[in-house]
Amino acid sequence: MLKYIPNLLSLIRIILAVILFLSIREKNIHQAIIVLIVGGATDFLDGYFARKFKHLTTKNLKTIGGMLDPLADKIFFGALFVALLSEGFLPLWLFIIFIIRDVLLLIGTIFIKIKGVVYEFTPTFLSKINTTLQFIFGLIALIFPNSAILLVLVGVLIVTTCLSALLYLIRFVTTVFE
């Protein structure tokens, strides 16, 4: 029964995405901050328990957890960024950069599946840093929306988002054309 904890945490993160979106849209910032922190914790704990139970969900896209964890991440951060964009906390051009990266990842994954290439998807270290920075960006945008640190973080996010997209692209190309 404990082996299902990672999947349960991913499902909770999907539900939290809706609550996060509505909290930001309704300008209930305190609730949004709490939901964002709890959502970040579920992401961390999901990975922890997946490793503990040897269900490396991000490696095997054939398992429910292998699809559910990245899907929950995309839904959660998507809800965060759409809400931040709609409330003026996130510039449109940065939102577009985030979307392009994720669309490229999706296209690459689909392409690899279509080609029938056996591929174990593992997030890069830079991608994990990027996700952490996106989480921090969300917190700072909610707590200190006009902070100078937010501008610095935007610059860092541009670099980490673009570099992680490039690393994934290189990985996909080398995997498909080996």
pLDDT at 3: 76
CATH of 2-176, one of 3.30.450.20, 1.20.120.1760, 3.40.50.1110, 1.10.1660.10: 1.20.120.1760
pLDDT at 95: 93
Q: Could you report the per-residue pLDDT of 97-148, keeping only the tens digit for each?
A: 999 988 888 888 788 778 777 766 678 899 889 999 999 999 999 999 889 9
Contacts 24+ apart (CB under 8 A), 50-57: 50/6, 53/2, 53/3, 53/5, 53/6, 55/3, 55/6, 57/6, 57/7, 57/10
Q: Could you report the per-residue pLDDT of 70-86, keeping only the tens digit for each?
A: 889 999 999 999 999 99
pLDDT at 48: 84
What residue segments make up the domains of the chain, in order of their start? Answer: 2-176
Higher pLDDT, 22 or 114: 22
pLDDT at 56: 53
Question: What is the average pLDDT score of the chain?
Answer: 87
Higher pLDDT, 28 or 127: 28
pLDDT at 138: 96
Q: At what angle do helices 64-86 and 5-25 cross, to 10 degrees?
A: 10
pLDDT at 57: 45
Query: Model's pTM, two decimal places?
Result: 0.87
CB atoms within 10 A of CB 19: 18
pLDDT at 15: 97
Three-class secondary structure of residue 66 per DSSP = helix
- Residue 38: pLDDT over 70: yes
With cut-offs at 50, 70 and 90, classify the pLDDT of residue 58.
very low
pLDDT at 29: 96
